[in-house]
Amino acid sequence: MARRQVSMNEIVEIIYQWHQGKSVKGIERSFGVDRKTVRKYVRLAQSIGVYRDRPFPLETELASQLASLSNSKLLREKPARELIIPHRKTFGVRLKY
């Protein structure tokens, strides 16, 4: 799948559908996003206290809490290049063989 921007409304809807009991695979199909992306937003929701066995928060409250985490590690992942740079020498030596 190609990368695409996921709007805040879509994130809230993904979390809502998960909260209502829809499977990750079902949400993946209905939104056209990867399962890993769905799981990432479910983990994000759980980190702010949204669980299936608790009442769903107001959408405005949920959106504002998610927006406050916009710079969080849970929402933004490091690009692979930044993760690999510290290990560059090791990879280079191993790849020569």
pLDDT digit string, tens, across residues 17-76: 999 999 999 999 999 999 999 999 999 999 999 999 999 999 989 988 888 876 555 455
* In the predicted structure, residue 78 carries a pLDDT above the cut 60: no
pTM greater than 0.95: no
* In the predicted structure, residue 94 carries a pLDDT above the cut 90: no
Residue 7: what pLDDT?
84
Look at the block and give the residue holding tokens 């829809």: 22
CA dihedral 34, 39, 40, 44 (to 10 degrees): 150
Look at the block and give the residue holding tokens 């692979």: 80
Q: Are 91 and 80 within 8 A, CB to CB?
A: no
* In the predicted structure, residue 97 carries a pLDDT above the cut 50: no
